[in-house]
């Protein structure tokens, strides 16, 4: 198969999830060549393209990723998963499969530090001097947002959050692994009752188990869904490392990331602020 020919002669269009939102990196495209569908990821650099190859090499054998077709320059091509995107309401086995997927991904340890990104986001939230990244830029453009984002944390708030972060990290002693950053319906597809993670871009270094934070606080808030998720996860790896302190570290890290995004796209962030304040009261 000549990938250069397929990319050069195929019909390419932006790939959008079936539900609202998503596709904010502008990286994923639908590639149609001789009536066959592929997913083309136009990576910004070779480092990211090589990371996708590594992820597929290590995880494709578990059959929850699209099959890697190949790489041409900074373009990475995958099979297109027919079927449908996951939805808010799914059968309970779907949530068990999500746990299995997250557990497999978490087995990939990687050298990275979360501190620099955390403290940079905190600084921007305090000063109001944001450095917008691609997802923020595209969301503001698509939503027609012109309002300038403002600081949402005081100096005292930021100081307390730094103290809390250091305390939780010291107690939790988290490992850094690859994690699915967004366990949300639009990042997964269902084909023949099997769940596939199609947003390979969401797999990034973070504290081990961090993918469950957004899931547990949102789509997986229901206890039955959490139970199914944990059942799937524990069929692959232990979750004993996730005690209350560890979970609060994951929630704090996620809340600051969510707050940083919402402040720039002018969304309500009151729930994130409330969760952070509760943790400050709990520990400081």
Report pLDDT digits (tens) over 76-115. 999 999 999 999 999 999 999 999 999 999 999 999 999 9
Q: What are phi and psi of 96, to 5 degrees?
A: -65, -45
* Residue 196: other Cβ atoms inside 10 A: 20
Q: Cα dihedral angle (135, 141, 146, 150), rounded to 10 degrees?
A: 0
DSSP assignment of 117-173, as one string? HHHHHHHHHHH------HHHHHHHHHHT--SPP---S-HHHHHHHHHHHHHHHHHH-
Q: How confident is the model at residue 204 (pLDDT cuts 50, 70, 90)?
A: very high
> What H or E segment, with its residue span, contains residue 63?
none
Residue 28: strand pairing partners: 41
Task: Please state the separation of Cα 163 from the chain's center in Å.
Answer: 26
**What is the structure's pLDDT at 134?**
87
**What is the structure's pLDDT at 24?**
61
Contact 58, 95 (CB under 8 A): no
CA–CA distance, 59 with 57 (Å, rounded to integer): 6
CA–CA distance, 106 with 176 (Å, rounded to integer): 9
Global pTM reads 0.93
Q: How confident is the model at residue 42 (pLDDT cuts 50, 70, 90)?
A: very high
pLDDT tens figures, 47-79: 999 999 999 999 999 999 999 999 999 999 999
**DSSP state, 222?**
S
* Residue 190: other Cβ atoms inside 10 A: 19
Angle at 27 between CA 198 and CA 151, to 5 degrees: 105
The pLDDT of residue 21 is above 70: no
Contact 80, 66 (CB under 8 A): yes
Q: Which CA distances in Å does 199 have to 67, 116, 143, 182, 187?
A: 13, 25, 22, 9, 5
Q: What percentage of the chain carries pLDDT values higher than 70?
A: 98
Number of H helices, E strands in the chain: 10, 10
The pLDDT of residue 124 is above 80: yes
Contact 211, 181 (CB under 8 A): yes
């Amino acid at each position: 198969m000549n990938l250069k020919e397929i990319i050069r002669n195929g019909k390419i269009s932006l790939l959008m999830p079936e539900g609202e939102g998503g596709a904010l990196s502008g990286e994923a495209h639908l590639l149609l060549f001789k009536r066959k569908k592929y997913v083309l990821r136009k990576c910004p650099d070779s480092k990211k393209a090589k990371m996708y190859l590594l992820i597929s090499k290590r995880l494709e054998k578990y059959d929850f990723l699209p099959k890697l077709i190949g790489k041409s320059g900074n373009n990475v091509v995958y099979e297109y998963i027919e079927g449908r995107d996951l939805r808010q309401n799914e059968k309970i086995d779907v949530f068990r499969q999500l746990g299995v997927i997250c557990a497999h991904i978490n087995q990939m340890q990687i050298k990275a530090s979360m501190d620099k990104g955390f403290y940079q986001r905190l600084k921007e939230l305090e000063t109001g001097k944001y450095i917008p990244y691609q997802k923020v830029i595209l969301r503001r453009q698509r939503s027609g947002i012109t309002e300038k984002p403002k600081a949402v944390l005081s100096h005292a708030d930021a100081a307390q959050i730094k103290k809390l972060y250091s305390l939780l990290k010291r107690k939790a002693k988290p490992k850094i692994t690859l994690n699915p950053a967004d366990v949300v319906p639009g990042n997964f597809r269902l084909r023949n009752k099997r769940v596939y993670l199609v947003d390979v871009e969401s797999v990034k270094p973070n504290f081990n188990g961090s993918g469950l934070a957004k899931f547990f606080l949102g789509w997986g808030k229901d206890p039955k869904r959490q139970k199914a998720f944990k059942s799937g996860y524990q069929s692959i790896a232990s979750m004993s490392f996730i005690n209350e302190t560890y979970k609060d570290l994951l929630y704090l890290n996620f809340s600051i990331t969510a707050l940083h995004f919402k402040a720039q796209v002018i969304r309500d962030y009151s729930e994130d602020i409330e969760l952070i304040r509760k943790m400050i009261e709990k520990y400081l």
